[in-house]
Chains A and B, each alone.
Chain A
Amino acid sequence: MAISKIWVFAESLEGKASNTSLELLTKARELADTVEVVAADGAAIAAQVGAYGATKVHNVSVDASKLHGSAIAGAIAEAVNAGNGPDVILTATSYTGRDVAGRLSVRVDAPVITNVVDLVEKDGALAGVEPVFGGSTDVYTKFTSGKVGIFLVRPKSFAAEESGGGAAEVAELAIPDLGATGTPVVTNRFVEEKTGPSLDDAAVVVAGGRGLGEKDKYEMIETLAKLLNAAPGASRAIVDAGWVPYSYQIGQTGKVVKPTVYIAAGISGATQHLVGMKGSKNIIAINKDPEAPIFSVADLGIVGDVHKVLPKVIEALQSR
Chain B
Amino acid sequence: MNVVVCVKQIPDPADPGALDPNTKTLKRDGKLILDESDSYGVEMALQLVDAAGSGEVTLVSMAPNGEVSGLRTALAMGAAKAVLVSDDALAGSDALGTSKVLAKAIARAGEADLILTATESSDGYTGTVPEQIAELLQLPSVTFAKEIAVDGSTLKVQRQTEAGYDEVECPLPAVVSVTAGVVEPRYPSFKGIMAAKSKPVDQVTIADLGIDAASVGWAGAGQEIVEIAQAEAREAGTIIEDDGEAFAQVVKFLDDLKVV
Residues in A lying within 8 Å of B, measured CB to CB: 13, 67, 69-70, 73, 93-95, 98-99, 101-103, 105-107, 109-115, 122-123, 125, 127, 131-133, 135-145, 147, 152, 179-192, 203-204, 227-228, 236, 239-242, 246-247, 252-253, 260-261, 263, 272, 278, 282-284, 286, 290, 295-305, 308-309, 312-313, 316-317, 320
Contact = CB atoms under 8 A, between A and B. Distances in A.
B255 to A, nearest CB: 10
Given A139-B225, A189-B166, A204-B259, 8 more contacts: A94-B162, A101-B128, A111-B96, A131-B231, A180-B138, A190-B164, A298-B237, A309-B247
A318 to B, nearest CB: 11
A78 to B, nearest CB: 14
A239 B37 CA distance: 13
Interface string B220-255: 011111111111011101111110101111110110
Contacts of B143: 69, 95, 98-99
Contacts of A181: 134-135, 138-141
Contacts of A278: 234
16 contacts: A70-B140, A95-B162, A103-B135, A114-B95, A138-B228, A140-B227, A140-B228, A142-B223, A181-B135, A187-B168, A189-B161, A300-B249, A302-B242, A303-B241, A309-B250, A316-B251
A272 B159 CA distance: 22
A299 B237 contact: yes
Contacts of A304: 241-242, 246
Given A67-B142, A304-B246, A137 B228 contact: yes
B26 to A, nearest CB: 8
Contact of A137 (B163, B167, B229, B253): B229
B190 interface: no
Interface in B113-164: 119-120, 122, 125-132, 134-136, 138-144, 146, 159-164
B62 to A, nearest CB: 16
Contacts of B159: 67, 95
Contact of B139 (A123, A147, A180, A305): A180
Given A111-B96, A184-B168, A236 B180 contact: yes
Main secondary structure on B side of the interface with A? mixed
Nearest to A100: B131
Given A95-B143, A316-B251, A102 B130 contact: yes
A141 B226 contact: yes
Contacts of A185: 168-170
Contacts of B61: none
B167 A187 contact: yes
Contacts of A253: 119-120, 125, 180
Contact of B254 (A228, A295, A298): A228
Interface string B59-79: 000000000000000000000
Contact of A203 (B127, B136, B246, B259): B259
Contacts of B126: 112, 114-115, 152
Contacts of A111: 94-96, 221-223
Chain B interface size, under 10 / 10 to 19 / 20 to 34 / 35 or more:
35 or more
B165 interface: yes
B223 A144 contact: yes
Contacts of B19: 132, 137, 139
A115 B223 CA distance: 14
A189 B164 contact: yes
B58 interface: no
A102 B167 contact: no
A301 B237 contact: yes
Contact of A136 (B127, B168, B230): B230
Nearest to A18: B162
Contacts of B226: 122-123, 125, 127, 140-142
A179 B146 CA distance: 26
Given A95-B162, A102-B131, A312-B247, A283 B231 contact: no
Contacts of B240: 300-303
A144 B221 CA distance: 8
B180 A192 contact: no
A260 B254 CA distance: 10
A174 to B, nearest CB: 18
B242 A136 contact: no
Contacts of A152: 126-128
A180 B172 CA distance: 9
Nearest to B132: A102
Contacts of A93: 127
Contacts of B235: 299
A115 B125 contact: yes
A186 B164 contact: no
B171 interface: yes
Contacts of B254: 228, 261, 284
Nearest to B26: A132
Contacts of B249: 300, 302
A227 B254 CA distance: 12
B17 interface: yes
A105 B180 contact: no
A303 B240 CA distance: 6
